[in-house]
Amino acid sequence: MSLQEYRRKRNFTRTREPSPEGSARGKGRAIFVVQLHHASHRHFDFRLQVGDVLRSWAVPKGPSYDPKVKRLAVEVEDHPVSYAGFEGEIEEGYGKGHVDTFDRGVWSTAGDVEAQLLKGHLTFELFGKRLKGSWHLVRSGKKERQPSWFLIKATDAYASDIEADDLLDAKMRKSTRRAQKATSAGTATKKVAATKASSAKTKSRRVSVATLTKAAVALEGTRKAKASTDFFPPQLARLRETPPQGDAWLHEVKWDGYRILASVAKGKVMLWSRNALPWNDRLPEIVAAIEGLGLESARLDGELIALDAQGRSDFNALQRTLSGDMQAPLAYMLFDMPYLQGYDLGKVALAQRKTLLERLLSHAPRLLSYSGHNLGDGDQVFAMAMEQKLEGIISKRADGGYRAGRGDDWLKIKRLESDEFAVVGYTPAKGSRLTFGSLLLARPDADGGWTYAGRVGTGFTDEMLRELGKTLTKAGSKTPSVRIDAVDPTLRGALWVPPTAVAEVYYRGIGNKNLLRQPSLKALRVDKAPGDLRDSDRKPAPKRGAKAATASKSAAAAAVASPVVITHPERVVFPDDGITKQQVVDYYRAVMPWLLPAIADRPTSTIRCPGGIASPCFFQKHVMARLEHVGTARLKEETGAQAVYLYPRDESGVIELVQFGAVEFHPWGSHIGSPDIADRVVFDLDPGEDVEWRRVIAAARMVRGFLDELGLVSFVRTTGGKGLHVVVPLNPGADWATVKGFARGFAETLAQLHPLEFVATASKRFRRGKIYVDYLRNGRGATAVASYSLRSRPGAPVAVPLRWDELGKLKSGNAFDLATVPKRLARLRKDPWEGIDAVKQDLEAVNETLAAR
């Protein structure tokens, strides 16, 4: 496919249409877009992303939902993927006229796209706001200068007599100058009818959900509970070689895909990965399908899969579809429902939960499928899975509840021997091989470190080699970052890195050197991080009281020594605690992987205590002499003058600042590259005298609740002092005036609604017995303490990110210190703030919503 014809027909000095030069390929799912084009002849441009381009057809009358109607679709030149976002006027030349976006979404097809187009019949499915369901593009037999096709709606649940013009909104109607009054009247009539039909369908569905809820309430173990769209930790399975026996167990197919959790509250759906990353943007059609169930609140658990031609799950097809390289049909295979319509079903027997789930999905869209099971006969079910070459089975206690984490109520029995390993290095490429020869693998050991497990050099696609090569081969040390128990001569020339990715590998047993035999790559598990392997499905249940190794050990094993020389390491920084400068350096090195993302490339003020915290300390935000490893940037001050600010770029810069006496780090809420755009809002909850800690916790939860009502996800951390920070990530960011205005309005509204609890003024005389909501940290040049920063106070307390459900366990805002934080990090299975940079929420949209109220 080429954009040569697209380029030839346009003068890019005159048209606003995007030039193909520099137009990046779309990332992620393959998209479709339909644009209403008021050219010399009004028509709809129907475009499907295939690889790097949008394959395009001009449809004069637009798509029809009537399967009996064949709509002419004239094939036109391919367009760049960036054209999907184009709207507005084409002033002159080819295609002159106004362009509106009629619909946009993702699409899929069960077969090879190019093969179907070459054959002249493409069958596909659309997941848009206006266009849904299955469709056909069939090539006409007529030989014409521009190939003609027919766009035809398939007979499915979405088929109706609705036409494209029936679905125009006010903006598109205004742009359609040729619309006739009779057509508008007909459109209004059809839309009213469609609305009534939709309303009747929704009412019918709600009746069935009400019936289902009534059945759930009657079950033993059901209890009332508050709904939330928050992530809920999933129940996990332990690996076993053979299926359990007896009718106490039910057996399901082991689907080979990504675990996806769905939380529904107030009708809003949130999809989560097993690592608590939001997935709504990647799976809009799944979100829409769940919304179509008519649920007010629920929790659903299942596996996202891609189906091959035989209807089996295909993991590689799933990864390629999510990356945009394929358009395989997806399905969300649901196997559990631990919450429904305001009721927690976690203590209800699994078999009863599945009965409710099956009834719920009996009339669900095709995208939502029920994962059935057999009761008993585990050996026969497993044998059948082997015959059909499935991944394996999952065996579950039929009377079991839903419990977060790994246990013996869910067991995994796999057809092929495979396991997951951390990628810890690579061997150089040889011959025609791209980027590297093989990946070096490691498994977690009992001491909190990693042990070399072998290398894998087969099973890679060229795309995998390229993608890994972009990151993996950018670094590497000849010193192993893991323990090696056996001599392996093939490792000469190998380069080692800290655990950086997870690879799932097939192998034929373990050799006598404890290395993998004949390993072959099955897949790169982008849904998992190396830390997840410490909770392996192969591990026995942990003994109570077992202690994990500290994070500093593994960090020290993996880290490259800093080039900064530490002088006077014996100098005491925290005199009451006897903590030296070297211990401060060691702490920051141990937490560096957690600290650095919060401060790297952000203008950062430090609190320097060159003589220790008992001597005078002071803020340092401007660059000073002798700094060699710290970044500098010339930024405008509030006064309008310019000054050179410092910012850490990497570990060396942080350690250099500590060498110069820095104890605390306070970054801006923006980056050096865009200092006028904030990507954080910080509410500092500062309790006055006589305010108990439980009130501070309650205040943070209240702030979270109000933010949630505004559609804003928030995170919480201790400050290392008396209070808490509630942090709101912004993506896209907003200018400082908008952020400060929102923060001030939020704080003042909170104080007005709860005057006995909160105050929004900094005056000390008003703060006694109340909690000051400090919004002043949200201005240009203002700072807030960084996560994992020490505080210059006795006890060496630390500002620490938390999960919201940890708040109730804390005794104070300075509950963590220099000694306990590395131990906490070693125990963590994942970052409490994991996914904060992936949250997409727009403050402008929130302000518009508030203005509309």
pLDDT confidence band for 197 (50 / 70 / 90): very low
The four Cα atoms 584, 589, 595, 597 give a dihedral, to 10 degrees, of 150
Least confident of 180-189, 461-470, 503-512, 641-650: 180-189
Options 132, 153, 254, 740, the catalytic residue: 254
User: Rounded to an integer, what distance in angstroms lies between the CA atom of residue 623 and that of residue 639?
Assistant: 18
pLDDT of residue 650: 87
State mean pLDDT over 50-56.
88
Q: Say whether pLDDT at 853 is over 60.
A: no
pLDDT of residue 129: 87
Q: Which CATH superfamily is domain 559-853 in?
A: DNA primase, PRIM domain (3.90.920.10)
Q: Say whether pLDDT at 554 is over 70.
A: no
pLDDT of residue 95: 73
- To which residue do tokens 């189906």 refer? 307
pLDDT confidence band for 172 (50 / 70 / 90): confident
pLDDT: which is higher, 712 or 179 = 712
pLDDT of residue 814: 92
Is residue 254 part of the annotated active site? The answer reads yes
pLDDT of residue 240: 84
pLDDT of residue 471: 65
Least confident of 215-229, 534-548, 695-709, 776-790: 534-548
CATH code: domain 418-535 is 2.40.50.140
Q: Say whether pLDDT at 235 is over 80.
A: yes
User: Rounded to an integer, what distance in angstroms lies between the CA atom of residue 137 and that of residue 225?
Assistant: 49
pLDDT of residue 207: 41
pLDDT of residue 82: 85
pLDDT confidence band for 561 (50 / 70 / 90): very low
pLDDT: which is higher, 126 or 172 = 126
State mean pLDDT over 333-358.
93
Q: Say whether pLDDT at 191 is over 60.
A: no
Let me know if 160 is exposed, middle or buried by CB neighbors in 10 A (0-12, 13-18, 19+).
middle
What's at 401, amino acid-wise?
G
Q: Which residues of the chain form CATH 3.30.470.30?
A: 223-414
For 271, 279, 287, 314, 755, the CA distances from 282, given in Å and listed in that order, are 9, 5, 10, 18, 42
State mean pLDDT over 672-688.
92
Q: Say whether pLDDT at 731 is over 80.
A: yes
What's at 274, amino acid-wise?
R
Q: Which residues of the chain form CATH 3.90.920.10?
A: 559-853
Q: Which CATH superfamily is domain 223-414 in?
A: DNA ligase/mRNA capping enzyme (3.30.470.30)
pLDDT of residue 851: 65
pLDDT of residue 616: 86
pLDDT confidence band for 185 (50 / 70 / 90): very low
pLDDT of residue 556: 35
**C-alpha gyration radius of the chain:** 30
Q: Say whether pLDDT at 324 is over 80.
A: no
Q: Say whether pLDDT at 196 is over 60.
A: no
Q: Say whether pLDDT at 179 is over 80.
A: no
> H helices of 601-692, where?
651-659
Q: Say whether pLDDT at 625 is over 80.
A: no
Beta strands in 755-817 (DSSP E): 758-759, 771-774, 801-802
In tens, the pLDDT along 395-446 reads 999 999 999 888 889 998 887 667 889 998 888 877 655 677 888 999 888 7
User: Rounded to an integer, what distance in angstroms lies between the CA atom of residue 282 and that of residue 269?
Assistant: 13
User: Rounded to an integer, what distance in angstroms lies between the CA atom of residue 573 and that of residue 580?
Assistant: 5
Percent of all residues in the chain with a pLDDT value above 90, rounded to a whole number: 38
pLDDT confidence band for 142 (50 / 70 / 90): low
Query: pTM above 0.85?
Result: no
Which residues contact residue 834 at a Cβ distance below 8 angstroms, ignoring those fewer than 6 apart?
A: 275, 276, 277
Least confident of 170-179, 279-288, 735-744: 170-179
What's at 428, amino acid-wise?
P
> H helices of 433-565, where?
462-471, 551-558
The pLDDT mean for the chain works out to 83
The percent of the chain in helix, strand and coil, each rounded to the nearest 5, is: 25, 30, 40
SS3 state at 442: strand
pLDDT of residue 674: 87
Is the separation of the CB atoms in 338 and 347 below 8 Å?
A: no
Q: Say whether pLDDT at 304 is over 90.
A: yes
pLDDT confidence band for 194 (50 / 70 / 90): very low
CB atoms within 10 A of CB 400: 21
Percent of all residues in the chain with a pLDDT value above 70, rounded to a whole number: 87
Which residues in 495-532 are b (16+ Cβ under 10 Å) and which e?
A: bbbbbbbbbbbbbeeeeeeebbeebebbbbbebbbbbb
User: Rounded to an integer, what distance in angstroms lies between the CA atom of residue 706 and that of residue 510?
Assistant: 54
Residue 793 token pair: 């106070």
Q: Say whether pLDDT at 673 is over 50.
A: yes
pLDDT of residue 309: 66
> H helices of 218-333, where?
284-291, 315-322
pLDDT of residue 557: 34
Q: Which DSSP helix (H) or strand (E) runs through 496? A: strand 495-506
